[in-house]
């Protein structure tokens, strides 16, 4: 059993945080497009960002800020324009955004982190942003998580939010998070943004390590379409307002905090994968028997990201051969005669040998998942064993439907 419980409140569930989301006029649709997350005190800050060589201005800015100072008090996020591949002026726009937020909150601009999402090659609409910042600051609230979650999305069909609570040193500790992402999802860190808040007291070094490992086991283990974004950002704040003893070295309390952080990130990551553009179900791939966890995750990600596997799932076709082929090209050595493949409860391949199974029932299993409740009964489970090693890894993706092509063919038109 997990040593925590789900609570309400999202990113404002932890103590000492406020959030807001407003319509500033950045999106042509007129939907909410400017979000702000604010810690009432200086918070330890950590970040994991896209590894793309083409990085948005906000990514470069946040990297530099966190290298200089591992703390922050505010995160500003605009939706509508990615501000990626916008040159020097795009970076200056990001600097101006941070300065404006700092002035409005009466904090140093160095304590403001910035994220952007939207169309690549488009600068932020600065006139709209300038007028929107005082409004989003005025809207800050301890119940503002839902508004912020709604203001960061683009092609998402649903908002993504979670909050968990555990006990450390007999005091409650909470972690909350929101995320956006639906297409251009293949993190090497998806367009994917995630923001996490925590009220524990933790050293900067440990918090960054925890976040990096949590990202590997969540956001770096999902794929929708194989495309890594220019703007991928995962930013986490820990402000210490739980008043628990400081976690400054690895031990039982640090392990518990990291496990809960990973659970928050995995929930948000799965929500992103399930909301993949045009998707009808979530695909969860678990690989066992690999040499180590990294190898297992690599195989799992390759299967989850296979266009042929994803297309078969959409067609409700239990074509295990595509799963085997994807596992084989993952770049991880294993003996073919050890390979085992299951789709749900249907065992299809054992010791490298094909087995008879009820194809109609297996297809019905896929159809049932597509009709299941969102993030509850809508998951297709693929289990693959490759040997006798101790490595276990998971990855998440979604099926590939006709609507994915339609959505992305018309994205800027």
Q: What distance in Å separates the CA atoms of residue 285 and residue 98, rounded to the nearest whole number?
A: 40
Which residue is catalytic, options 94, 155, 166, 191?
Answer: 191
- The encoded tokens of residue 256 equal 């518990």
Q: What distance in Å separates the CA atoms of residue 111 and residue 113, rounded to the nearest whole number?
A: 7
Residue 169 has what DSSP assignment?
A: T
**Per DSSP, what are the bridge partners of residue 282?**
379, 398
Q: How many CB atoms lie within 10 A of CB 104?
A: 18
Instruction: Report helix angle 307-314 to 320-328, nearest 10.
Output: 160
Q: Report the helix count and the strand count for the chain, using DSSP H and E.
A: 11, 15
Q: For the chain, report the end-to-end CA distance as a whole number of angstroms.
A: 48
Q: Between the CA of residue 137 and those of 74, 271, 277, 376, what are the distances in Å?
A: 10, 28, 32, 36
Residue 152 has what DSSP assignment?
A: S
> 190 in helix, strand or coil?
coil
- The encoded tokens of residue 305 equal 């990201």
- Asked whether 231 and 179 are in contact (CB, 8 A), the reply is no
Burial of 185: CB neighbours in 10 Å, binned 0-12, 13-18, 19+ = buried
Phi and psi for 157 in degrees, rounded to 5? -90, -25
**Would residue 191 show up in a list of annotated catalytic residues for this protein?**
yes
Q: Which residues are catalytic?
A: 191
């Amino acid at each position: 059993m997990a040593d925590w419980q789900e609570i309400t409140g999202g990113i404002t569930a932890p103590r000492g945080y406020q959030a807001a989301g407003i319509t500033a006029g950045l999106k042509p649709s007129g939907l909410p497009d400017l979000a702000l997350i604010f810690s009432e005190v200086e918070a330890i800050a950590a970040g994991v960002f896209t590894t793309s060589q083409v990085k948005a201005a906000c990514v470069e800015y946040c990297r530099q800020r966190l290298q200089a100072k591992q703390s922050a008090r505010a995160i500003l996020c605009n939706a509508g324009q990615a501000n990626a591949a916008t040159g020097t002026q795009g970076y200056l726009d990001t600097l101006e955004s941070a300065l404006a937020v700092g002035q409005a909150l009466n904090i140093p601009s160095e304590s403001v982190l910035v994220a952007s999402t939207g169309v690549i090659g488009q600068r932020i609409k600065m006139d709209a942003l300038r007028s929107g910042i005082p409004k989003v600051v005025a809207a800050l609230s301890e119940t503002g998580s839902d508004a912020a979650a709604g203001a960061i999305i683009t092609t998402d069909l649903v908002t993504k939010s979670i909050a968990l609570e555990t006990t450390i040193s007999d005091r409650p500790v909470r972690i909350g998070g929101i995320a956006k992402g639906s297409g251009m999802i293949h993190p090497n860190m998806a367009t994917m943004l995630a923001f996490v808040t925590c009220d524990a007291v933790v050293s900067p070094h440990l918090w960054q390590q925890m976040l990096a490992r949590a990202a590997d086991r969540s956001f770096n283990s999902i794929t929708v379409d194989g495309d890594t974004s220019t703007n991928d950002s995962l930013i986490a704040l820990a402000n210490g307002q739980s008043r628990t003893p400081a976690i400054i070295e690895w031990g039982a309390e640090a392990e518990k905090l990291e496990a809960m952080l990973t659970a928050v990130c995995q929930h948000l990551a799965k929500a992103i994968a399930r909301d993949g553009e045009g998707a009808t179900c979530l695909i969860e791939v678990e690989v066992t028997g690999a040499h180590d966890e990294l190898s297992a995750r690599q195989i799992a990600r390759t299967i989850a990201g296979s266009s042929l596997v994803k297309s078969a799932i959409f067609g409700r076709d239990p074509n295990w051969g595509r799963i085997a082929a994807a596992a084989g090209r993952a770049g991880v050595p294993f003996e073919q005669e050890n390979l085992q493949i299951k789709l749900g409860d249907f065992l299809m391949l054992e010791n490298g040998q094909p087995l008879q199974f009820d194809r109609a029932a297996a297809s019905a299993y896929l159809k049932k998942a597509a009709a299941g409740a969102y993030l509850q009964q809508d998951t297709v489970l693929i289990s693959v064993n490759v040997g006798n090693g101790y490595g276990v890894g998971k990855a998440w993706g979604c099926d590939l439907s006709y609507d994915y092509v339609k959505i992305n063919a018309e994205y800027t038109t």
